[in-house]
Amino acid sequence: MAIHPPEQRIWWNEKVATVELIWIGVAFLWGLVMFFMMIYWHGAGGQNLSNEAYRIEPEAFGERVDEMIEAYTVREDEDSGYPVVHPPPGSDVYMLARLWEWYPILELEKGQSYRLNLSSMDWQHGFSLQPTNINVQVHPGYVLVMTITPTESGEFSVVCNEFCGIGHHQMIGRILVTE
């Protein structure tokens, strides 16, 4: 029961107060501004990755990773025993996700462009390159391809940010960038 019930029981025929109409107008205009800013910022913002996605069988992606490892391995990591792969600039590089690892360790050159191919062998994983703000989802059966050009040298961590099971917290890979 309302404190001041409407004179007529059909509430939608009641006159709307001027203040309410102003707020409805302001909210509508702000919604339009935000909608068009999303479209504008998508193109002008510069934060969107240039990426492609293709269907692929996980076994076929695993074979591509193995071929790259065989061709471009420069050493074995002392801590993990994973191969460290140094592919030539401009080439396709592959990194695969599986419970609970990113494989292999990539060694890239600063200022050079690479086509980074990501896919999962088993579950959905999250690829988060730290400390940069590259954040994508990696699905089994799909390869996500993005062109990257490292601008800083150093060691970068690849963290899974989609919960993938009991070993999720240990799923950390590495990309090394040399001068």
> 10 Å Cβ neighbour count for 139?
17
Percent of the chain clearing pLDDT 90 (strictly above): 65
Indicate the pairing of strand 114-120 with strand 92-98.
Answer: parallel
49 has pLDDT over 80: no
Please give the pLDDT value at position 39: 87
Q: Which CATH class is domain 51-178?
A: mainly beta
pTM of the model: 0.74
Indicate the pairing of strand 105-109 with strand 83-85.
Answer: parallel
Distance CA 19, CA 90 (A): 60
Q: Which residue has the higher pLDDT, 79 or 6?
A: 79
Where along the chain do its domains lie? 11-44, 51-178
